[in-house]
Structure 1
Amino acid sequence: MYSKIAINNIKKSYKDYTIYFLTLILAVCIFYSFNSIDSQKALIDVKSSNAQYISRLIEIMSGVSVFVSMILGSLILYANNFLIKKRKKELGIYMTLGMGKRKVSRIIVTETSIVGAISLIAGIILGMAVSQVLSIFTLKLFEISINEYRFALSTSAVTKTALYFGIMFLIVMIFNIFVISKYKIIDLLTAGRKNENIKFKSSFVYLLAFILCVVLLGFTYSSLLKIGLDTRNTMFKPLIVLLIVGTVLFFFSLSGFILYIVNKNKNLYLKGLNIFVVKQINSKVNTNFISMSVICLMLFMTILVLSTGISIKKDFEVGLKKEAPFDASITINNHSENLEDVLKKIDFKINENEKYATYNEYRSDVKVGDLLSTTNEDNKDSKVFFIKISDYNKMLKLRNKKEVSLNKDEVLIMSNYKDMVKLIDEKFKSSKKVNIKGKEYSVKNDEIIDENLADYTMQDTYLTIVIDDEFLPKPNKIYRSILNVMYSDKNRKQNNKKYSEIHENLLKHKYKDLSISNMDAYSKDDIYSRSKSGTTAVLFIGIYLGIIFLITSMAVLALQQLSEASDSIERYKALKRIGANKKMIDKTIFIQTLIYFSLPVMIALIHSIIGITVVNDELSKFNQTDIRFSALITALLFIVVYAGYFCTTYTGYKNIVKNNI
């Protein structure tokens, strides 16, 4: 009997369940899709060979999924609370007819189970389709041929999805039982007649808060653009706090501010049903300003991550060619022994299939400010590095590149640090000559050489001068010595292992007794692998959380609107009694829904413009980032999700009003 009542209730209220169903299905779909990436055969093959970063990515995704499940669990509870609130009168009638709270709870539990099961099955089926698109995207990220793609079903992802969402629905059932046990019949029957209490009436309070929020956000924006992404700056964390406070103040003050502005324009205020629309918006924002602030910040994070994520990964991996120009490198910093003696100490030997060359890098007392005639505080006292032209040519020869000749009064300049390149370019506008220790030299290269002279995990050529050998006698201290290696096509994996072992031994302090501390070893493949591990993990987590935040934000906005529709039925009845027709009422609903959906998105977009500018400025110190593609993808995703929830909400809102007036 209870099952029959539950099924009839779902059929009768299917329009009310639309947002709930949509949210649950999308949540299950996304959860399954991102947890099924390990099912693609091509990735399994790579994982089993030499790419530890895939295993690491799968581990990270599993951990993030726990956090995601908590977000989705909270969302499901929120959505369920909306449904219970909307059905208070119906539940009160059940109790009035003699049905006990236990039996009412049983009906609600049965409904929750049916809705949960349908959503879970539909979500997994949709997720299977979406996961195939995600698999193709993943293969492209890992530069695996698309021919390796095969349709795959992840039983582990199905099990995990069913387990996590099963626990969520169980919590919802317990929550429903608890809520129903606390209700009184009189509260349930009169729930629709209760209106909110607006705490603040004074326009001055809202106006003052609005002015304060504009000042705070303006100061925060300008300060962040100035200091950039420097988390070490003492102002960085306070600025993030000010951004949050400013956002909350904006939504707190917005309703009163809009009312104040519109009231000043009587022609606009008194036109049509604008009085009603303004009052409705005022009521909604006033009640939900905290949740709207949270939604705005979530959307900001979503836009920022999705807009920059793909381009950051792409540009970081383009930069790898400059970071690792050799197959392997061993670097010894600030040492008193020569390179050969140190290599003997660790029993290092060059294989027959390896070509190698060594060079020294010298640190001088020449300052950047003196060399480039700059007063830039961040760079003027930094030291300039030098290498011999003979050593530089050895590096070129090792890479099968054409060697360079220099006269005694010529130099080459190297740097892959964007701020330094700007300073050098400014210097070159007036003169392509530099003064080094009282002697003038001509800069031979037309373009600054922007690559590393050894494999490293980042681009670390700050400002290096390639100069005639005679310039570098004994007084110049050797800053570091480097061995660079190029492999033949054979035994690449074995050679990589040799340099990886040196790196691991250094991390484990196994060379401590040999008095070797400032030394490191990298292979190109290891650097590529580590970079892919980091950028891909960040990108996947960013996309995963971004989509979850987007769905959560839109769902909460939709549920708040539908809840408002139920609470405002008496107001719409009053509109109808004074002569408002269906078209006029539908127009007010459309305007309210559009404004309510648009406000958090608009502020999030403004935050994002600043955020993207700051992130791009930081990243472009080494690579010129291009966010056009990822911004387009973000925009399309936003439009699809936004339009879906907006249309569903608008339709649901109209149906609630239509069926009750």
Structure 2
Amino acid sequence: MYFKIIFNNVRKNIKDYSIYFLTLMIAVALFYAFNSLDSQTAFKTATSDATSNLSRQLISVLSVLSKFIAFILAFLIIYANNYLLKRRKKELGIYMLLGMENRSISGIFVGETILIGIFSFISGIAIGCLLSQGVSAIALKMFAIDLSQYRFVFSISSLINTLICFSIIFIVVIIFNVRTVAKVKLIDLLNAGRKNENFAVKSKKALAGILFVGLCMLAIVALLIYKKNGAISNSAIFSISFVLGILGTACIMYSFFGVLFYTLQKNVKWYFKDVNVFLIRQISAKIQTNYLTITIVCLLLAATICIVSTGMGIALSLNSNAADETPYDFIVLKDLENKKADKSETFQQYFSKKKVDLNEYLKEQIEISIYEEKTFTYNNIIADPDKLFKADADLLEETVPIISISDYNKILESQGKDKIDLKESTYLINCKYRGTKELLQSFVESNKAINIAGRKLTPEMGRINEVVYYLSSVGNNDHGTIVVSDKVIANLNKTSIILNGIFKEDSNKQKFDNLLVSFMGDPQSPYQSLTKTLVFEAYYGMFAMAAFVCCYIGIIFLIICVAILSLQQLTETFDNVYRYNLLQKLGVEKKLCYHTILKQIAIYFGAPLMLASIYSIVALPSIISKASVSLGLDIGVNVGYIIVLLLIIYGGYFLVTYFSCRNMINGK
């Protein structure tokens, strides 16, 4: 009999369970998807030691992070469960009135919790299994692992971990339910939802004062961040800014709608139109009552927008820049100014001495020479040094590297680009570094002449070239190189020789990388090397892992925010169902009631989102700028797409909440 009651209750109240079920399902799906990476065989078949290490680190980080996420999700599920209890209090009261014992009532709710948990878990695992394939593919691409190794997998270990985690959460929920039902009184159950919300502060002057204080706090935060370097996390000013930001947000959330309420009262025509009186009082009272929750949601939303936008921006930019930044498989640089350097020794002789046959591994070898003129420094071609990044303060005193047009054309030809004809009296500037690119472009556009080897040279074209002619750490490739004719080069001092290599398709790349590392580890040696594998995995891998984790945390934060807002609005509507019914009995059309609910939910969802958006608009440019400079990537171009994605998730919960509230008013 009890099972029949439990099953019928879940079936009848399936719409009440919609947000709860949706939240559980998404939580299970995400938890499974991100923890199933260790079962993806492509990670285990990675040919590079660096890739294997980074993938293991990612899986380890996600494993630790998932425990923290599970802890947060536990609170969210308990919060959602509390909504369901409140939604069913009257039903509980009827059970008690009919003589059912608290133990039996608890048993019914435990059964319902287990049943809905089973449904949501199965659905979540099914969705998570599909989602995990996409997550795995993205992770493989981020870590530059061959996607041909990708396999569809179902992770038994992740399933068991997810089952254990959510079983523990549901045991806690069941204990919470049993204790709540055991302590509840019949009179409280029957009168549930009939208590009116009142303003905690009724004084108009007090509310205006709190709003003013909140605005002043946020103004101080802005001043500290932009004038006193308050964005530096290890400074005392940052701590002050952080605390003031939280307090200021709380003050604004507490007082804004109260002040708005008093202001709108003065507009008698608008205030008494339709059911605006009811709407304003409900919104103001509820937001004042729940201002701490809304403050937390607002700050979490701001953090989510910044974290996900930065994380996904890095990931997308890394993928789009990967091929452009690494046109060669490895580089060996010979420093001719090193005391140990044998200037007559060729690369072939050096590798033969190390018993390495380059022809066995390489399809193409591109050898170029770098020259300099001692008196020609970056100070000669950077007219506005104040615009340099702080990290480039010493750049002006460095000599500018110079290469011949014949070597430059070798580079262009190897990358499938058209060769360039350069007159003896002209020069080109090549640059791939964000910190100097615009400054050098301005120099070229001004058509200024330079003096190299006693010759006056003018720009060949009105723009700089952006070609990667050697491998380096990404974002720090070429601060600016002068390209001149071969006749000019003849009178300059050669400082180094670069060998760029492109592997054969069937060559053992990992073996060659290991050989390079084995005999080029001495920092005092005139020969230094860097491989594409290291660039991809040491740079792209580390930041890809950070971006991956950022997205995981951000999505969880977003779900927590929208779930809390949805549950609060469902609770609010449930508490006021009889009031909406009373309005309809007084002659208010059902359509107008729907519009009132829509406005209420829109304001409740919109208030924290608007303030969070303002915070993000202020903070994101600074965050993106610093990240772009440190990573050498333009990550801001993808932010718009990411914010649209976040709004789709946010809007989805908004619509589910609205239609659920409408069904409540209709008695469904």
Q: TM-score range by the shorter chain?
A: 0.7 to 0.9
1:627 is paired with a residue whose SS is helix
- Which deviations, in whole Å up to 9, do the C-alpha atoms of 1:529-584 show, x marking residues without a partner? 33442343234333333332222222111110121123334644653564434333
Counterpart of 2:358 in structure 1 is 352
TM-score, length-scaled by structure 1: 0.81
Once structures 1 and 2 are overlaid, which stretch shifts more, 118-127 or 398-407? Answer: 398-407
> Any conservation in 2 of the 1:16–1:652 contact (CA below 8 Å)?
yes
**Residue 376 of structure 1: aligned partner:** 386
> Any residues of structure 2 matched to 1:137-156 within 5 Å, and which?
151-156=152-157
Among candidates 479, 491, 495, match of residue 462 of structure 1? 479
Q: Give the secondary-structure state (helix, strand or coil) at the position aligned to 1:376.
A: helix
- CA shift digits 1:262-306 (9 cap, x unpaired): 223222111111011011110121122222222223333433444
Question: Which residue of structure 1 lines up, in the alignment, with residue 501 of structure 2?
Answer: 486
Report the alpha carbon displacement of residue 435 of structure 1 after superposing the two structures with TM: 7.0
Q: Does 648-657 or 48-57 show the bigger shift?
A: 48-57
1:108-145: CA deviation from partner (whole Å, max 9, x where unpaired):
32222122112111222233344445456556656778
Match of 1:34 in 2: 34
**CA shift at 1:592, angstroms?**
0.9
Letter in 1 for 2:73: L
AA matched with 1:499: L
Structure 2 residue aligned with 1:157: 158
Find the aligned partners of 2:385 and 2:148 in 1 and give their Cα distance: 56
Go from structure 1 to structure 2 and tell me whether the alpha carbon gap of 1:329 and 1:278 turns closer, same or farther (over 3 Å shift): same
* Conserved 8 A contact 1:413-1:445: no
Gaps in structure 2 of 5+ consecutive residues: none
Amino acid at match of 1:416: K
Could you tell me which runs of 5 or more consecutive residues in structure 1 were left unpaired when the two chains were aligned.
none
User: Aligned letter for 1:174?
Assistant: I
User: Does the 8 A contact of 1:361 with 1:385 survive in 2?
Assistant: no
Distance 1:245 1:567 in 2: 30
Matches of residues 213-292 of structure 1 in structure 2 within 5 Å? 213-214=214-215, 217=218, 231=232, 243-292=245-294
Give the Cα separation in 2 of the matches to 1:334 and 1:288. 70
Q: Is the 8 A contact 1:91 1:188 kept in 2?
A: yes
Q: 1:415 aligns with which of 418, 423, 431?
A: 431
Shift of residue 159, structure 1, vs aligned partner: 1.9
CA shift, 1:325, in A, is 4.7
List per-residue Cα deviations over 1:583-625 (Å, max 9, x = no partner). 3333322221222122223333333344443344445554445
Distance 1:373 1:142, change over 3 A: closer
TM-score norm. by structure 2 comes to 0.80
Q: Which residue of 1 aligns with 2:561?
A: 553
Q: Judging changes above 3 Å, is the alpha-carbon distance between structure 1 residues 363 and 166 closer, same or farther for their aligned structure 2 residues?
A: farther
- Structure 1 distance, partners of 2:527, 2:292, is 52
Are the structure 2 counterparts of residues 388 and 194 from structure 1 closer, same or farther at C-alpha, using a change threshold of 3 Å? closer
- Decide whether aligned partners of structure 1 residues 147 and 546 sit closer, same or farther in structure 2, where only a CA change above 3 A counts: same
Residue 661 of structure 2 corresponds to 653
Amino acid at match of 2:436: M
| 1:75 positional shift | 0.8
8 Å CA contact retained: 1:57, 1:533: no
Identity %: 33
> What is the aligned residue count?
642
Distance (Å, rounded) in 2 between the aligned partners of 1:417 and 1:240: 34
Q: What is the distance in 2 between the residues matched to 1:227 and 1:331?
A: 43
- Residue 490 of structure 2 is aligned to residue 497 of structure 1: no
- Cα contact 2:426–2:459 (8 A) shared by 1: yes
Question: In structure 2, what residue type is equivalent to 1:247?
Answer: T
CA distance in 1 between counterparts of 2:223 and 2:515 reads 50
**Whole-Å separation in 2 of the counterparts to 1:643 and 1:18:** 16
Check whether the contact 2:427–2:482 (CA below 8 A) recurs between aligned residues: yes
Structure 2 CA distance for aligned equivalents of residues 430 and 534 of structure 1 = 40
**What is the DSSP-based 3-state SS (H/G/I as helix, E as strand, rest coil) of the residue aligned with 2:399?**
strand
Alignment correspondent of 2:591: 583
The amino acid across from 1:328 in the alignment is F
Amino acid at match of 2:116: V
Per-residue deviation, 1:463: 4.3
Stretch of structure 1 that moved more, 454-463 or 556-565: 454-463
Structure 1 residue 638 corresponds to structure 2 residue 644: no
Separation of aligned partners in 2, 1:323 and 1:385: 24
CA 1:47–1:522 in 2, change beyond 3 Å: closer, same or farther?
closer
Specify the code of the residue in structure 2 equivalent to 1:27. A
SS of 2:177 mapped into structure 1: helix
The residue number in structure 2 matching 1:430 is 446
Alignment-derived partner of residue 86 in structure 2: 85
The residue aligned with 2:19 is 19
Q: CA deviation at 1:220?
A: 5.6
| Matched-pair contact (CA < 8 Å) for 2:377–2:399 | no
Q: SS at 1:442's partner residue? A: strand
Change in Cα spacing, 1:428 to 1:564, as seen in structure 2 (3 Å) is same
The alignment yields a C-alpha RMSD, in angstroms, of: 4.4
1:83 is matched by which residue type in structure 2? L
Cα distance in 2, alignment partners of residues 559 and 248 from structure 1? 20
Moved more, 383-392 or 545-554: 383-392
**Does the CA contact (< 8 Å) of 2:24 and 2:120 recur in 1?**
yes
User: Match for 1:533 among 522, 538, 541?
Assistant: 541
Cα-to-partner distance string for 1:452-472 (whole Å, 9 max, x where unaligned): 554222232334556755886
CA distance in 2 between counterparts of 1:83 and 1:3 reads: 19
Per-residue deviation, 1:170: 1.4
SS of 1:386 mapped into structure 2: coil
Deviations 1:45-67 (A, max 9, x none): 54799842444433333333223
| Residue of structure 2 in register with 1:67 after alignment | 68
1:499/1:269 CA distance change after superposition, 3 Å: farther
